[in-house]
């Protein structure tokens, strides 16, 4: 390494890193301010997308009512097959389908 390389201390782990470094090679934290802000904005947008997909957001009351009606259509289309039924079909080698047929009558 050249001796005229400027070094700075990582604000997170206090190790010496290059002044031009974007991330600390020791702790992995983002040192560059603009890159860190972009990463945090991306994390926030991803976490808000989770709420919008599930219809749990208060601002999307119309989408939550449409998503509940679409979920009813899906359960009607597959005859009320639940996640438990799918797991039991897998574990019983398909014999659970017979129980589902008897149960529906």
Task: Give residue 64's pLDDT band: very low, low, confident or very high (50, 70, 90).
Answer: very low
Same domain, 86 and 43: no
Question: Per this entry, what is the length of the chain?
Answer: 105
Q: What is the pLDDT of residues 13-60, one digit of tens each?
A: 999 999 999 999 999 999 998 888 888 888 888 776 655 554 444 444
Name which of 30, 26, 32 is nearest 13 in CA terms: 26
Please tell me the predicted confidence (pLDDT) of residue 68.
47
Q: Reduced to 3 states, what is the DSSP secondary structure of residue 9?
A: strand
Residue 34, domain member (yes or no): yes
Same domain, 1 and 51: yes
- Tell me which long-range contacts 26-31 makes (C-beta under 8 A, separation of at least 24): none
Domain that holds residue 81: 76-105
Count of domains in the chain?
2
Please tell me the predicted confidence (pLDDT) of residue 7.
92
Same domain, 46 and 7: yes
In whole angstroms, give the CA distance from residue 25 to residue 82: 47
Residue 1, domain member (yes or no): yes
Residue 60, domain member (yes or no): no
Residue 64, domain member (yes or no): no
Name which of 55, 75, 74 is nearest 66 in CA terms: 55
Which residues make Cβ contacts (< 8 Å) with residue 19, sequence separation at least 6? Answer: 6, 7, 8
């Amino acid at each position: 390494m050249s001796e005229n390389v400027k070094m700075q201390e990582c604000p997170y782990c206090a190790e010496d890193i290059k002044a031009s470094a974007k991330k600390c090679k020791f702790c992995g934290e983002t040192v560059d301010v603009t890159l860190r802000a972009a990463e945090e904005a991306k994390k926030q947008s991803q976490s808000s997308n989770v709420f919008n997909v599930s219809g749990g957001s208060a601002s999307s009351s119309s989408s939550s009512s449409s998503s509940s009606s679409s979920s009813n259509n899906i359960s009607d289309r597959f005859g009320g097959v639940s996640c438990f039924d799918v797991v039991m079909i897998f574990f019983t080698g398909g014999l659970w389908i017979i129980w589902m047929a008897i149960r529906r009558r």
